Amino acid sequence: MSELKRYERPIINKQYSGFMNKFGTSPITTPKTEIDGIAVNHLVEQFGSPLFVMSERRIRENQRNAYRIFKTRYPKVQFAWSYKTNYLDAVCSVFHSENSWAEVVSEFEYDKARRLGIKGDNIIFNGPDKSREALVKAIRNKSKIHIDHFDELYLIIEITEQIQMKAEVAIRINMDVGVYPKWDRFGFNYENGEAWQAIKRIMANKNLKLVGLHTHIGTYMMSAEAYRIAATNMALLTRSIRDEYKHLLQYIDMGGGFASNNTLIGQYLPAEQVVPSLEQFADAISSGLFSLSFSAEDLPLLILETGRALVDDAGYLITSVLANKRLSGGKRALIIDAGVNILFTSFWYKHKISPAQECGVYQEEAAIYGPLCMNIDCVRESITLPSLKQGDKLIIEHVGAYDMTQWMQFITLRPNVVMVMEDKSTELIRKAETLEYIIERENLPAKFQKK
């Protein structure tokens, strides 16, 4: 007997007259039943719900495209995988196997990269917090230390004298590139001459070798032009160093910050229409760098710490409907089993969310709430969705960046993460947490312990 026709509860939709929204995206009707050819149902059966799914194929495609785009515009390009974006071993390993270095911002990330076998000189050590121990480690391994402030510079000078080793350093530079907010809390300022002061200090010290310059003008940048200005300034500085000290820098690190195709909350147009393409970012950066009057052989290496733009759309979150509700105002609400504790990015993105099974054609506006017993646990204020039953699956897309690093263990446990491999097999890359895992770190004072 063929399957029974699916029951759909009736919906009353208020009809609006007047202008149609000419920008409106078409509501989602086509369900997404598989990820990289693997059925969603199958994944849930095997690994449970909620479930993060990473696509190896997509990561590789993204990385290769990005490399192609930059490499065909500038002759020397190196990517460094930004660990904080997603530092699951499996994800990092895919990037490293595509010849990416590691860009880390803490000792923890540094050690994680070393554990994966990344050579010391292929690690870029960023961030305002580097402990003495971490710096010693980085200096010994010849990692590239990007100095954030003068106190760190002094500390490095002290360490190099102590351990009698040379350090390979670069300085992070902040500058006004005409975007708001202006990032001036990291590194040394370009306009007020602080950056040049730092360079002079480094050049005067025999234990420090200035190997590069670093800038990172912001995050989720919507303007390619800002990168042209930044790259031009970096080129000018590189040339000044060459002219002043007869010293050729090995690289210019333009950081990351390229926007991904996730639409921000409060953004009117969908991301696909307003976010500059990677080609535009690459054009801007290379044209800025070519204002260097260097011969082809002497051009510095361009390092990119792109994170979000390479991994965001390689991550999916499969979640199940726990319940349907009607709010006091008549608005429909869905409760799902994935909350903001594991989907941190829902605070700033309007993710693309699609049903993972066949559903009806009628759509209704709804709010999506997570399972936490907290008022902030709102995954989406408003979205148009077809009617869904308890147990139906939803796929939240573009969750590869930051979610799996900024998530927290709060009220519920963090779920499984699997990777769909290029050969269509699936691998569990991070096991769901268990009670034992959580309490293993805890210590109950003896007097509370039951005998």
Partner 1 sequence: MLKFFTDAVFLSYSQIFFSNRKWFGILIFLAVMVNPLIGISSLLGILITNLLAMLLKFDSEKIRSGFYGFNGMLFGAGVMFYFEPSFYLLGLTLIFIVITFFISAVIENFFAVTLNLPGLSIPFVITTYIFFVFLGKYDFIRFANLPLYHGPVNTAEGFILNYLQALSLIVLQPSAISGIIIALALLLFSRIAFQLSLLAFAINALAVNILIPDPSPNFIIISSFNSILTALALGGALIIPSKKNLLLVVLSIFMVVIFTGFFANVMNSVALPIIVLPFNFIVLATVYSLKFRKDHTELTLLYYKLQSPEENYYYHKNRRARFDKFKISYPELPVFGEWYISQGFDGEYTHKKDWRYAWDFVVVDEKESEYSSEGNRFEDYYCYKLPVISPLDGMISKVIDGIPDNDIGDINVEKNWGNTVIINHYGGLYSALSHLEKDTIKFKEGDYIKKGDIIGQCGNSGRSPYPHLHFQFQLSEKLGEKTFQHPFVHFISKSDGGLKLHLFEYPEKGMRIQNLETHKILKGAFDFYYGRKFSFACEFKDKKFIEEWEVKIDIYNNLFLENGSGDIAYFVQAGKVLYFSAYSGNKESALYFFYLSAMQVPFCYHEDLYWEDKYSPSELPKSALYYIPEIFLLYHDLIDVNARFNFAPREEDSEDFIIEGNIRLEGKSFAKIFSEEFRSKINIGGEGEITDYEFEINNKNKFNAKQIFNDEETK
Binding site for partner 1 (CB under 8 A): 61, 64-65, 68-77, 99, 117, 119-121, 141-142, 279, 283, 286, 290, 295-297
As a whole number of angstroms, the distance between CA 303 and CA 306 comes to 9
Angle between helices 278-289 and 56-71 (to 10 degrees): 30
**Shortest reach from residue 62's CB to partner 1, in Å:** 11
**Shortest reach from residue 97's CB to partner 1, in Å:** 10
- Nearer CB in complex with partner 1: 76/209: 76
CA angle 186, 188, 190 (to 5 degrees): 120
As a whole number of angstroms, the distance between CA 133 and CA 114 comes to 15
**Shortest reach from residue 119's CB to partner 1, in Å:** 5
**Shortest reach from residue 72's CB to partner 1, in Å:** 4
Which residues fall within 8 angstroms of residue 116, CB to CB, at 6 or more apart? 89, 92, 93, 96, 102
Nearest partner of 256 among 202, 319, 312, 206, judged by Cα: 312
As a whole number of angstroms, the distance between CA 185 and CA 167 comes to 24
- Nearer CB in complex with partner 1: 64/424: 64
- Nearer CB in complex with partner 1: 60/201: 60
- Nearer CB in complex with partner 1: 97/425: 97
**Shortest reach from residue 159's CB to partner 1, in Å:** 20
Contact 53, 46 (CB under 8 A): no
Residue corresponding to tokens 């402030």: 149
Which residues fall within 8 angstroms of residue 379, CB to CB, at 6 or more apart? 336, 338, 339, 340, 343, 346, 368, 369, 370, 396
**Shortest reach from residue 228's CB to partner 1, in Å:** 15
**Shortest reach from residue 135's CB to partner 1, in Å:** 18
- Nearer CB in complex with partner 1: 277/382: 277
- Nearer CB in complex with partner 1: 68/326: 68
CA torsion sign for 68, 70, 74, 77 is: negative
**Shortest reach from residue 299's CB to partner 1, in Å:** 8
As a whole number of angstroms, the distance between CA 289 and CA 253 comes to 11
As a whole number of angstroms, the distance between CA 193 and CA 151 comes to 17
Between the CA atoms of 263, 314, 285 and 79, what dihedral angle is there, to the nearest 10 degrees?
Answer: 150
| CA atoms within 13 Å, Cβ hemisphere of 90 | 21
- Using CA atoms, how far residue 357 sits from 52, 315, 354, 376, 420, in Å, is 18, 19, 9, 28, 19
- Nearer CB in complex with partner 1: 69/343: 69
- Nearer CB in complex with partner 1: 250/426: 250
- Nearer CB in complex with partner 1: 197/291: 291
**Shortest reach from residue 116's CB to partner 1, in Å:** 10
**Shortest reach from residue 85's CB to partner 1, in Å:** 22
Contact 335, 369 (CB under 8 A): yes
Segment (H or E) for 52: strand 51-55
- Nearer CB in complex with partner 1: 314/396: 314
